[in-house]
Amino acid sequence: MTTLQNTVGAVAEAPSRSLWKLGWQRLKRNKVGFISLWIVLAYLLISVGGWFNLVGGRWTDEVGVPYAPPSWMQESPDDVLKPEPAVKAAAAPIVTMSRAEDPIGKELNEAEKHVGEYADHTPPRLEKLPFGGDLQGRDVIQKTLKGTSTSIFVGVFGAVFSLLIGCALGAVSGYFGGKTDDFLNWFYSVFTSVPDMLLLLSFAAVSGRGITTIISVMALTSWTGTYRLVRAEYLKLKGREYVQAADAIGAGSGRKMFIHILPNISHLLLVQFSLLTVALIKYEAILSFLGFGVGVREVSLGSMLAEAPTELIQGYWWQMLAVTIAMSVLVTAFSLLVDALRDALDPRAAAK
């Protein structure tokens, strides 16, 4: 009896561990997932800093000569173009005109009085930049930081609004069922019958360019996966004991849907949010590459990729390399983090 009492007392005194605490412990044990988490957090900090112009805020400054090469790249003698010998042309007669005969001579005389009166504060352009420059002489590092910030901002907010739409429709459909479920399933089927990229291009062509427009377009065209997931979970969970207990104490439908059922699928929504963010970052790059993305006065990874083909033909590869590295690290880290979150927040794994 004493042993049984001690066992019961130990169990009662043991701290309760929620799914989130167990998931965090499992995520910390996953080295790849934990490193990916910190990389993603660093990218999110860059995005926040870029939005407030703390990072990449001077990307429009033309600090270098056009297509300034990276400072770490050494020029070889073969890369230096030798000037072609000048072809002597027939000497043309030089016609001189006195200042009195010049039709604008009076204005020139007046302008000469002010020569040197004002100092020229235009800084000299650099021949080389740390990671090279573009056609206008803008620093590629500054552009990449600002473009990464824009792409992440678009992907995160597009995923948030898409998640809200899909979660709301899926909850209503799965909880109420009946004709409401039939109508929303028909609406879902209409959306999924059209390819995602075709829907994106159609909405973008009608709405125009800009960050706000592209976020709205992505949210309106990418909610179907979340709707299907949330509907299936609500169909499964609406008959559980805790929902019946909430119904017995007089809880309304909204409270049962979003206070009792929704927290139990929050781990699935977190994984879905990560998947959507990665997908929408890729979609933004595609749309901007095709000319339907961010505005002319804005920069993103997709708009930088759109400049790359022309530069590569001329042998200027550094902007393409910077965009490739930034986007590859971001997408890879997000994908590895999604896999780690899926394993860490799995209730069956957490219960072991």
Helix H or strand E segment including 307: helix 301-313
pLDDT tens across 218-270, in order? 888 889 999 999 999 999 998 888 888 888 888 888 888 888 888 888 888 98
Asked if the structure places residue 58 within a domain, the reply is: yes
Asked if the structure places residue 64 within a domain, the reply is: yes
Asked if the structure places residue 17 within a domain, the reply is: no
Cα separation, 319 vs 132, in Å, equals: 7
Q: Which of 64-73, 124-133, 152-161, 259-268: highest mean pLDDT?
A: 152-161
**What is the domain range of residue 288?**
42-69+128-350
Least confident of 72-76, 106-110, 200-204, 308-312: 72-76
**Residue from 46, 19, 21, 18 nearest 333 by CA:** 46
Sequence-ordered strand ranges (E) for the chain: none
Q: For position 151, which CATH number holds?
A: 1.10.3720.10
Tallying the residues shown for the chain, one arrives at 352
Asked if the structure places residue 84 within a domain, the reply is: no
**Residue from 221, 189, 188, 225 nearest 203 by CA:** 221
List Cβ neighbours of 153 (8 Å cut-off, separation of 6 or more): 47, 50, 51, 211
Give ∠ CA 158-164-170 in degrees, rounded to 5: 130
DSSP 100: T
What is the pLDDT of the chain when averaged over all its residues? Answer: 81
The percent of residues above 90 in pLDDT, for the chain, comes to 28
Is 1 in a helix, a strand, or coil? coil
Confidence (pLDDT) at 339: 87
Instruction: Please give the tally of structural domains in the chain.
Output: 1
Q: Are 75 and 81 in contact (CB under 8 A)?
A: no
pLDDT tens across 269-288, in order? 988 998 899 889 988 888 88
Asked if the structure places residue 173 within a domain, the reply is: yes
Rg (CA), the chain: 31
pTM of structure: 0.77
**Residue from 51, 17, 18 nearest 154 by CA:** 51
